[in-house]
């Protein structure tokens, strides 16, 4: 892996063709010459020995693919790193992982959202995975540090970039982990970050994008996550804020819109939710809404929509369209529960629902067209008899 022109794909191909690492290393010069490389020599043993010595001096541990400690989800990806350097608590890798990524120049609201999501996810039993950049990465680690987080570096695991996060990087070692596939002592360059991003998404069950421009590293992480079969969810932002354009694009293209940790957890396949832990439950206000039990014998269209909800597929079998329909049905039910024959101001209804006006408006229109809701002058609404 430290030889020129040998990345993960070449490594696995050489290993498959030659059977052992030693045989692959022996065959490497001939393969390089056949591909047009001149004066090719594999990584000198002294370079590898120096890296091992540096790792021993800093307390880093090597994890190779096939080791018991190697992250299982990451091992399933096509270009999984053959080796990782780790510093900190390796037990963090055995817990359910969710990645949080976003802008370096994050807004105040973006930072607040990242802190809230990271804290709630940690309280729900998940380990937050991120980079170690300023902005969203820093906010996520800071909020969940005591519960354990994982920072994936584009540098060597012993090199902290940016330097301003040196204290945070040290704090992570008490409860969490620093990971890198790069050689010890390597200072990161631009080309190292996309490779780092695939590890962030490969480790996690889902990737949460908090703030991201249309052309950003966070969008690269999201695209990589989709290629790896991971769930991608995004926090919406103001259309005029370029930092939110990437998130809004993801949502437009089918990513789940999230407002809190409960939304993130709801988007996960049921089989990937954490086992029972001592972590406290999320507050009631943050929990995902649950539909009423289906009523197969209920009357047909004449009855309110809440009574005609069909059996809901489990989360791991539910499509984006089914999820959107389910949320709409739940909102219809809640609207009809809050309305009566006495007209109520629409603004008050929206406040009582604690739902975005943009989400309530189309549902109200549907209910009005179906004859379940009556609109009165002055922005008042009532439920039809």
Mind listing the pLDDT tens digit for each residue in 249-299?
999 999 999 999 999 999 997 645 565 544 444 443 333 333 333 333 333
- C-alpha 68: how far from chain center: 24
Dump pLDDT digits (tens) for 26-35. Answer: 888 777 777 7
Least confident of 42-46, 89-93, 279-283: 279-283
pLDDT at residue 88 is higher than 60: yes
Give pLDDT, residue 309: 43
Q: In this predicted model, which residue has the larger pLDDT, 291 or 90? A: 90
- List where CATH 1.10.10.10 sits in the chain: 305-383
- Phi, psi for 61 (deg, rounded to 5): -115, 135
The better pLDDT of the pair 29, 350 is held by 350
Residue among 166, 226, 235, 177 nearest 202 (CA)? 226
Instruction: Indicate the fold that domain 44-271 takes in CATH.
Output: Rossmann fold (3.40.50)
CB 28 within 8 A of CB 42: yes
This prediction's pTM: 0.68
Q: What is the pLDDT of residue 316?
A: 52
Q: Which helix (H) or strand (E) element contains residue 235?
A: none
Query: Does residue 360 or residue 296 have the better pLDDT?
Result: 360
Q: How far apart are CA 315 and CA 317, in angstroms?
A: 5
- What's the pLDDT score for residue 274? 62
Span 329-354, mean pLDDT? 85
127-130: strand order across its sheet = 61-64, 83-88, 177-180, 149-152, 127-130, 97-101, 206-209, 231-234, 256-257
Indicate if the pLDDT at residue 171 is higher than 50: yes
For residues 201-208, give the mean pLDDT: 97
Least confident of 72-76, 274-278, 347-351, 377-381: 274-278
Average confidence (pLDDT) over 211-219: 91
Q: How far is CA 17 from CA 4, 24, 36, 154, in A?
A: 19, 8, 20, 30
The pLDDT assigned to 317 comes to 56
CA 360 to chain centre: 27
Q: Which residue has the higher pLDDT, 241 or 203?
A: 203
Structure tokens at 90: 């390796």
Reply yes or no on whether the pLDDT at 72 is more than 90.
yes
- What whole-number distance in Å separates Cα of residue 302 and Cα of residue 323? 24
Least confident interval from 16-30, 198-212, 356-370: 16-30
Q: What is the pLDDT of residue 129?
A: 98
Q: Is the peptide bond before 361 cis (omega within 30 degrees of 0)?
A: no
177, with CB counted inside 10 A (0-12, 13-18, 19+), is: buried
Rounded average pLDDT over 205-226: 93
Q: What pLDDT is attached to residue 318? A: 52
- In whole angstroms, what is the distance from residue 126 CA to residue 119 CA? 10
**Is it the case that residue 141 has pLDDT exceeding 80?**
yes
The mean predicted confidence, pLDDT, of the chain is 84
Question: Between 74 and 107, where is the model more confident?
Answer: 74
CATH 3.40.50.450 in the chain: give the residue spans.
Answer: 44-271
Q: Which residues of 195-204 are buried (b: 16+ CB within 10 A; e: fewer)?
A: ebbbbbbbbb
pLDDT of residue 94: 93
Q: What is the pLDDT of residue 23?
A: 85
Checking if the pLDDT of 78 tops 50, the result is yes
pLDDT in tens, 363-385: 898 898 888 999 998 889 988 86
Residue 105 has pLDDT above 90, yes or no: no
Give the pLDDT score at 36: 75
Distance, in Å, from the CA atom of 362 to the CA atom of 125, rounded to the nearest integer, reads 35
Position 248 scores a pLDDT of 95
Cα(110)–Cα(211) distance, rounded to whole angstroms?
6
Q: What is the mean pLDDT of residues 47-57?
A: 93
CATH architecture assigned to 305-383: Orthogonal Bundle (1.10)
Label residue 367 exposed, middle or buried (CB < 10 Å: 0-12, 13-18, 19+).
Answer: buried
Share of the chain above pLDDT 70, in %: 85
């Amino acid at each position: 892996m430290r030889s020129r022109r040998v990345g993960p794909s070449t490594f696995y191909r050489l290993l498959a063709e030659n059977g052992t690492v030693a045989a692959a290393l022996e065959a490497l010069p001939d393969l390089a010459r056949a591909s047009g490389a001149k004066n090719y020599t594999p990584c000198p043993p002294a370079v590898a020995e120096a890296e091992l010595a540096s790792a021993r001096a800093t307390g880093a541990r090597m994890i190779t693919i096939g080791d018991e400690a190697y992250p299982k989800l990451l091992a399933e990806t096509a270009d999984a790193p053959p080796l990782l350097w780790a510093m900190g608590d390796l037990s963090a890798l055995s817990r359910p992982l969710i990645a949080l990524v976003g802008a370096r120049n994050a807004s105040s609201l973006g930072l607040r959202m990242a802190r809230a999501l990271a804290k709630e996810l940690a309280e729900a039993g998940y380990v937050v995975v991120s980079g170690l950049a300023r902005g969203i990465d820093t906010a996520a680690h800071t909020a969940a540090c005591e519960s354990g987080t994982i920072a994936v570096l584009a540098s060597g695991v012993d090199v902290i970039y940016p330097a301003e996060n040196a204290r945070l990087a040290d704090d992570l070692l008490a409860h969490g982990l620093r990971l890198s596939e790069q050689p010890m002592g390597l200072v990161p360059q631009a080309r190292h970050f996309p490779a780092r991003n695939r590890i962030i998404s490969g480790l996690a069950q889902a990737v949460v994008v908090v703030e991201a421009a249309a052309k950003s590293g966070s969008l690269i992480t999201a695209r990589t996550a989709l290629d790896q079969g991971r769930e991608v969810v995004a926090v919406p932002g103001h259309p005029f804020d370029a930092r939110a354009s990437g998130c809004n694009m993801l949502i437009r293209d089918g990513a789940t819109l999230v407002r809190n940790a409960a939304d993130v957890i709801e988007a996960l396949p049921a089989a990937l939710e954490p086992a029972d832990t001592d972590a406290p439950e999320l507050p009631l206000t943050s929990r995902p809404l649950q539909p009423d039990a289906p009523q197969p014998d209920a009357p047909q269209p004449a009855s309110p929509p809440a009574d005609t909800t069909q059996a809901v597929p489990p989360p791991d079998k539910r499509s984006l369209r089914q999820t959107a329909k389910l949320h709409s049905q739940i909102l219809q039910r809640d609207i009809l529960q809050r309305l009566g024959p006495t007209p109520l101001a629409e603004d008050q209804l929206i406040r009582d629902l604690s739902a975005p006006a943009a989400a309530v408006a189309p549902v109200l229109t549907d209910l009005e067209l179906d004859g379940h809701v009556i609109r009165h002058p002055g922005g008042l609404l009532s439920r039809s008899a």
